[in-house]
Copies of this chain bind each other. A is one copy, B any other.
Amino acid sequence: MITNPSRRGFLATLVAIGLICCSSLQALAAETDPLPSWNEGPTKQSIIDFVSRVTDKSGPDYVAPPERIATFDNDGTLWVEQPLYTQFVFALDRVKALAPKHPEWKTTQPFQAVLEGDAKAIAAAGEKGIVQIITATHSGMSTTDFNKIVADWLATAKHPRFKRAYTDLVYQPMLELLAYLRANDFKTFIVSGGGQEFMRVFADETYGVPPEQVVGSTGATAWQMWDASPVLIKMPKVDFVDDGPGKPVGINKFIGRRPIFAFGNSDGDKEMLEWTAASDGLRFMGLVHHTDPVREYAYDRDSEIGRLDKALDEAVAKGWTITDMKNDWKTIFPAEKTSP
């Protein structure tokens, strides 16, 4: 029973101040949490601890900005790779689009299998078949034309399960991690088994990683003059495979420095993580473990796509950071943009 009006006024003021303080503190917390889509816990903490230590000028683990090289795998680490690698979906779509110009494909494997939607026959064609599909669809045009073909495809293709553009199916927590590292003067690179030129079409806009910081598998290109104008033509020949032991080779070739921070999700990233771990000083080795069948996918040791087996054992044995997607990530994908 508060009857004294001035006392009531005083209390109201206190409550008001309390409310303002609370919301300011919340705003401040949201502002200063660089990884809001990561649940609190040891995974998030290991990232923040690492960044704090290598950027602390007075600490023993300080690393000068130019040496702050961070490398990220792409498929399954930055964006969805199930049920098929996005670039392979693109290649299958290109086989269908190009089929009218290649009547022989109707009776030639693995193209016949693609045109008939015969997944079993595609699988039976094995790695040789995959290379045939990739080279047939990724060559015979200029680099400029290829970029346009990829951009057009990405603008319209939708993921079969999520019904969203593939460039929307990137992991929100990893976008925040990329931005957090860059805010701390890291240079972020993609080091992926995927096609370098394919990724460069969207990596800048999607991840904030410019073309010159995208390392991937490459095909041969040839310098030619077309109508007295120079072009680079994509040739049906694999030049470099940036996977497994190819990742440290690619890092040495394209970057020329060793990462101090590396993130992957499959056995194809094992050597990149070992290469990162094997130099002096504090180093961060991270894996995304796909454990969330409801919001994304759950797969590891037995998956044909993004198999995580030996690298998982090694991560456990060596204490690398394993991200449990289901428990460590508050959200998986960026919110869908509402139509205007």
Contacts and interface: CB of A to CB of B under 8 A. Distances in A.
Nearest to A252: B232
A98 to B, nearest CB: 23
Contacts of A255: 211-212
A319 interface: no
A88 interface: no
A196 B221 CA distance: 19
28 contacts: A66-B210, A69-B212, A143-B252, A196-B256, A200-B256, A210-B257, A211-B256, A212-B212, A212-B213, A212-B254, A212-B255, A212-B256, A218-B253, A221-B249, A221-B252, A221-B253, A222-B245, A222-B249, A223-B245, A223-B249, A223-B271, A229-B278, A230-B248, A230-B271, A232-B248, A232-B252, A239-B253, A254-B254
Interface in A261-304: 271, 274-275, 278
A278 B230 contact: yes
Interface of A: 66, 69, 143, 187, 196-197, 200, 204, 210-214, 218, 221-223, 229-230, 232, 239, 245, 248-249, 252-257, 271, 274-275, 278
7 A-B pairs closest in CB distance: A211-B256, A223-B245, A212-B255, A200-B256, A230-B278, A230-B274, A211-B257
Contacts of A204: 66
A69 B187 CA distance: 17
B218 A257 contact: no
B223 A256 contact: no
A252 B195 CA distance: 13
Contact of A187 (B212, B230, B253): B212
A247 to B, nearest CB: 9
A99 to B, nearest CB: 29
Given A212-B254, A222-B245, 7 more contacts: A66-B204, A66-B210, A196-B256, A210-B257, A211-B255, A232-B252, A239-B253
Contacts of A257: 210-212
A212 B143 CA distance: 22
Nearest to A247: B223
A74 to B, nearest CB: 15
A274 B248 CA distance: 33
A75 B211 CA distance: 26
Nearest to A245: B223
A225 B204 CA distance: 35
Nearest to A69: B212
A196 B254 CA distance: 10
Contacts of A248: 223, 230, 232
A233 to B, nearest CB: 10
A204 B66 CA distance: 10
Contacts of A232: 248-249, 252
A256 B187 contact: no
A225 to B, nearest CB: 9
Nearest to A224: B245
A66 B197 CA distance: 18
A230 B275 contact: yes
A12 B134 CA distance: 83
